[in-house]
């Protein structure tokens, strides 16, 4: 009986686990790339010498990439049947062509060029990987890129995709173009953005640069299905469960999206004047690539908050939510005009319709302060759950408590301006009517009193005259 129970339990467990993996295994395919008995890997630390790379926030990319590359090297040489080379092991200048030629000279199976990112407006965050466009290297790059993205996601980083980019001469990025020209698959690993607050905690110390190197090595081991007696690991199963790719074609999702997202609409659901929160429904679609970020403006599009990760975005599954609800903190003392922008994988955006909120929000704290407090305190306007870019001219102005204007929090203002002015006009008419009625009433009563007084006087006069006659 006990044995029967055990067998049932094991059967159930097997069914349960196979159920979990079904969706993944049905898409999973083995490694497309073929390589010889001994694998040759070339690690290319980006930049070097005069070429500093990104130098934002005191970071020097050429130094970071060298530390990461050395850690990746130390890790990879522990795997069996692998030869590992580095294009540079010290701080020296190398052209992109020289890097590719070095890889060709050692008959490399793959070149991994390591980098750290920065964006023009310092607003982007997350990891991305650039791969060759042409088959069959596109398929190799895509399958490796998937393993790399998994490692970055596991570290907690946001994913910006496995992408290609074409220029006039073929692949846009030189190290990929030069390597492909010599029949070597090459990819650019952009680990994270050194100039963005959400990514900086991942790359502040040398230990963290080394951690990236270890992750890169792990992605390589899982892609090629390597094993290591020294480390006691075997990743041969991982190279059989890669995402579907074909050596003869270009993976659709890696093709650069040249157009902005197709639809972006916002709708005001609710406004809470107790807390100053506006609740919006956001709907957006891109027919070509996933939507990854959104940002919004509270001043009709003059300034925008830092981009926020699009809810439900999963680049490994190529999914994102079409519709979501978001809460926006309104600044005090202004009439916000909200516009939202949705960004796709190619960082192209579409602007939504705009929504004007005519009623100003004032927090209870501001309303309750005394004159003295109001003069001394500095207003803090956190216009967003992240950080909003507002210039000083857009800062809501605080009235001193004496002249503080407060609009009672009665109803949310979703009506259009015309409707509001119509109601104001009606109100004015009503007040005038009441006033006129009151004036008429008062004048009537005064007249009545005067008449009564005169009548009494006349009666008195008559009585007096009668008395005289007597």
- Quick one: CA dihedral 34, 141, 314, 153, positive or negative? positive
Size of the site for Zn ion (CB under 5 A): 3
Q: Quick one: which segment of 84-92, 111-119, 343-351, 406-414 binds Zn ion (CB under 5 A)?
A: 111-119
In the complex, the smallest distance separating the C-beta of residue 86 from Zn ion, rounded to whole angstroms, is 16
CB 9 within 8 A of CB 16: no
Nearer to Zn ion, 52 or 269 (CB): 52
Nearer to Zn ion, 55 or 279 (CB): 55
Determine the 3-state secondary structure of 432 from DSSP.
Answer: helix
Nearer to Zn ion, 115 or 177 (CB): 115
Query: 32, 42, 46, 137: which one contacts Zn ion (CB under 5 A)?
Result: 46
Distance of alpha carbon 389 from alpha carbon 401, whole angstroms: 27
Distances (CA, A) of 409 to 340, 361, 383: 25, 8, 19
Q: Is 331 in the site for Zn ion (CB under 5 A)?
A: no
In the complex, the smallest distance separating the C-beta of residue 169 from Zn ion, rounded to whole angstroms, is 19
Nearer to Zn ion, 62 or 147 (CB): 62
In the complex, the smallest distance separating the C-beta of residue 156 from Zn ion, rounded to whole angstroms, is 22
Closest CA to 330 of 379, 383, 294, 380: 383
> Which residue in the block uniquely carries the two structure tokens 């497309």?
32
Judged by CB under 5 A, the chain residues 189 through 218 that form the site for Zn ion are none
In the complex, the smallest distance separating the C-beta of residue 53 from Zn ion, rounded to whole angstroms, is 4
In the complex, the smallest distance separating the C-beta of residue 20 from Zn ion, rounded to whole angstroms, is 39
In the complex, the smallest distance separating the C-beta of residue 145 from Zn ion, rounded to whole angstroms, is 17
In the complex, the smallest distance separating the C-beta of residue 46 from Zn ion, rounded to whole angstroms, is 4
Q: Is 115 in the site for Zn ion (CB under 5 A)?
A: yes
Nearer to Zn ion, 53 or 225 (CB): 53
Nearer to Zn ion, 46 or 333 (CB): 46
Q: In three state form, how does the secondary structure of 212-279 look? A: HHHHHHHHHHHHHCCEECCCCEECCCHHHCEECCCCCCCCHHHCCCCCCCCEEEEEEEEEECCCCEEE
* Chain residue at closest Cβ approach to Zn ion: 115
What is the b/e burial string over 255-281, where b = at least 16 CB atoms within 10 angstroms of the residue's CB? bebeebbeebebebeebebeebebebe
Nearer to Zn ion, 115 or 215 (CB): 115
CB 115 within 8 A of CB 254: no
Q: What is the dihedral of CA 102, 129, 199, 318, to 10 degrees?
A: -170
DSSP 331: P
Determine the 3-state secondary structure of 291 from DSSP.
Answer: strand
Nearer to Zn ion, 42 or 383 (CB): 42
Q: Quick one: which segment of 38-46, 312-320, 324-332, 337-345 binds Zn ion (CB under 5 A)?
A: 38-46
Distances (CA, A) of 376 to 394, 399, 404: 21, 12, 15
Q: Quick one: which segment of 4-12, 43-51, 178-186, 214-222 binds Zn ion (CB under 5 A)?
A: 43-51
Q: Is 53 in the site for Zn ion (CB under 5 A)?
A: yes
CB 141 within 8 A of CB 110: no
Nearer to Zn ion, 53 or 136 (CB): 53
In the complex, the smallest distance separating the C-beta of residue 68 from Zn ion, rounded to whole angstroms, is 11
Nearer to Zn ion, 121 or 327 (CB): 121
Distance of alpha carbon 433 from alpha carbon 80, whole angstroms: 95
In the complex, the smallest distance separating the C-beta of residue 43 from Zn ion, rounded to whole angstroms, is 14
Q: Quick one: which segment of 24-32, 114-122, 337-345, 439-447 binds Zn ion (CB under 5 A)?
A: 114-122
Q: Quick one: which segment of 40-48, 142-150, 192-200, 446-454 binds Zn ion (CB under 5 A)?
A: 40-48
Q: Quick one: which segment of 115-123, 271-279, 307-315, 406-414 binds Zn ion (CB under 5 A)?
A: 115-123
DSSP 98: H
Taking the CB of residue 238, how many other CB atoms lie within 10 A of it? 20
Q: Quick one: which segment of 113-121, 234-242, 338-346, 422-430 binds Zn ion (CB under 5 A)?
A: 113-121
Question: Phi/psi of residue 281, each to 5°?
Answer: -105, 130
Distance of alpha carbon 305 from alpha carbon 347, whole angstroms: 16
Distance of alpha carbon 71 from alpha carbon 188, whole angstroms: 17
Nearer to Zn ion, 102 or 224 (CB): 102
Nearer to Zn ion, 46 or 261 (CB): 46
CB 161 within 8 A of CB 345: yes
Q: Is 336 in the site for Zn ion (CB under 5 A)?
A: no
Q: Quick one: which segment of 48-56, 153-161, 357-365, 453-461 binds Zn ion (CB under 5 A)?
A: 48-56
For the record, the structure tokens of 406 come out as: 């407060």
Query: In the complex, which residues of this chain contact Zn ion (CB under 5 A)?
Result: 46, 53, 115
């Amino acid at each position: 009986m006990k044995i029967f129970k055990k067998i049932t339990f094991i059967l159930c467990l097997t069914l349960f686990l196979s159920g979990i993996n079904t969706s993944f295994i049905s898409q999973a395919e083995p490694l497309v790339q073929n390589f010889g008995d001994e694998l040759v890997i070339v690690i290319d630390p980006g930049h070097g010498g005069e070429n500093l790379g990104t130098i934002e926030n005191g970071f020097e990319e050429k130094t970071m990439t060298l530390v990461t590359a050395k850690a990746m090297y130390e890790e990879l040489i522990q795997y069996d049947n692998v030869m590992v080379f580095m294009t540079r092991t010290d701080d020296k200048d190398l052209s992109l062509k020289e890097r590719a030629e070095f890889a060709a000279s050692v008959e490399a199976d793959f070149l991994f060029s390591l980098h750290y990112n920065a964006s023009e407006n310092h607003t982007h965050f997350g990891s991305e990987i650039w791969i060759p466009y042409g088959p069959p290297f596109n398929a190799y790059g895509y399958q490796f890129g998937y393993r790399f993205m998994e490692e970055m996601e596991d570290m907690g980083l946001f994913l910006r995709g496995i992408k290609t980019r074409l220029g006039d001469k073929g692949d846009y990025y030189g190290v990929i173009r030069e390597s492909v020209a010599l029949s070597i698959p090459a990819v650019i690993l952009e680990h994270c953005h050194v100039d963005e607050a959400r990514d900086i905690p991942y790359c502040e110390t040398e230990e963290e640069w080394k951690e990236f190197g270890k992750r890169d090595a792990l992605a390589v081991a899982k892609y090629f299905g390597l094993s290591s007696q020294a480390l006691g690991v075997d990743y041969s199963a991982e190279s059989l469960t890669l995402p579907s790719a074909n050596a003869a074609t270009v993976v659709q999702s890696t093709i650069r999206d040249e157009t902005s997202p197709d639809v972006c609409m916002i709708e005001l659901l609710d406004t809470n004047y107790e807390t100053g929160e506006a609740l919006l429904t956001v709907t957006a679609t891109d027919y070509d690539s996933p939507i990854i970020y959104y940002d919004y403006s509270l001043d009709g599009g003059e300034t925008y908050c830092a981009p926020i990760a699009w809810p439900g975005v999963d680049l490994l599954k190529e999914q994102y939510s079409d519709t979501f609800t978001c809460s926006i903190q309104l600044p005090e003392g202004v009439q916000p005009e909200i516009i939202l922008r949705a960004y796709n994988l190619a960082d192209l955006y579409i602007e939504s319709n705009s929504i004007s909120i005519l009623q100003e929000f004032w927090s209870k704290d501001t309303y309750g302060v005394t004159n003295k407090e109001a003069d001394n305190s500095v207003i803090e306007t956190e216009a967003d759950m992240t950080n909003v870019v507002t210039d000083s001219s857009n800062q809501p102005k605080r009235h001193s408590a004496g002249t503080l204007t407060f609009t009672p929090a009665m109803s949310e203002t979703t009506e259009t301006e015309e409707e509001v002015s119509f109601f104001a006009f009606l109100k004015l008419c009503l007040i005038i009517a009441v006033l006129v009625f009151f004036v008429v009433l008062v004048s009537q009563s005064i007249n009545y009193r005067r008449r009564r007084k005169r009548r009494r006087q006349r009666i008195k006069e008559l009585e007096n005259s009668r008395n005289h006659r007597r």
